[in-house]
Amino acid sequence: MKKPPNLITSNYKTIKVPLKKVLKHFDIIQPKFEESVLRVNQFATIGYEFLKLYVLHLFENKVGLPKINKALITKIFNLIGRGSNKGLQLLSNSYKSFIVS
């Protein structure tokens, strides 16, 4: 049987290695790493649930649906997240579109 041609060529090779062999202090770092992964997963789930409910609300009220792009997703995650004062500050209140009266 003929093998299909390899259309994708790369200079990189993937090697699967257990995380335990990569981390120096696995017992200390692994619980923190796992906790961070679980928090990010929960944050993403809440963000996408918010997006789904927001679009559903607009659809039920016969309002035009927004274009779902990176800017909308970023606004939603900034809206639900607990941020710090570090980083770029918003110049205007761009969250007025989420306020429903």
pLDDT score for 32:
92
**What string of pLDDT tens digits covers the 101 residues of the chain?**
677 666 677 788 888 999 889 888 999 999 999 999 999 999 999 999 999 999 999 999 999 998 999 999 998 988 888 766 666 565 555 555 555 43
Count of domains observed in the chain: 1
| Domain membership flag for residue 48 | yes
How far apart are the C-alpha atoms of 26 and 3, rounded to whole Å? Answer: 41
Q: Show the 3-state SS of the chain.
A: CCCCCCCCCCCCCCCCCCHHHHCCCHHHHHHHHHHHHHHHHHHHHHHHHHHHHHHHHHHHCCCCCCCCCHHHHHHHHHHHCCCCCCCCCCCCCCCHHHCCC
The answer to the question of residue 42 being in a domain is: yes
The pLDDT score that the predictor gives to residue 101 is 39
Task: Say if CB 37 and CB 30 are below 8 A apart.
Answer: no
Residue 6 forms part of a structural domain:
no
- Does any domain span residue 98? no
Q: Quick check: is 22 in a domain? A: no
Residue 94, domain member (yes or no): no
Domain range enclosing 46: 36-81
**28 inside domain:** no
Q: Are 66 and 58 in contact, with CB atoms under 8 Å apart?
A: yes
pTM above 0.75, yes or no: no
- Asked if residue 97 belongs to a domain, the reply is no
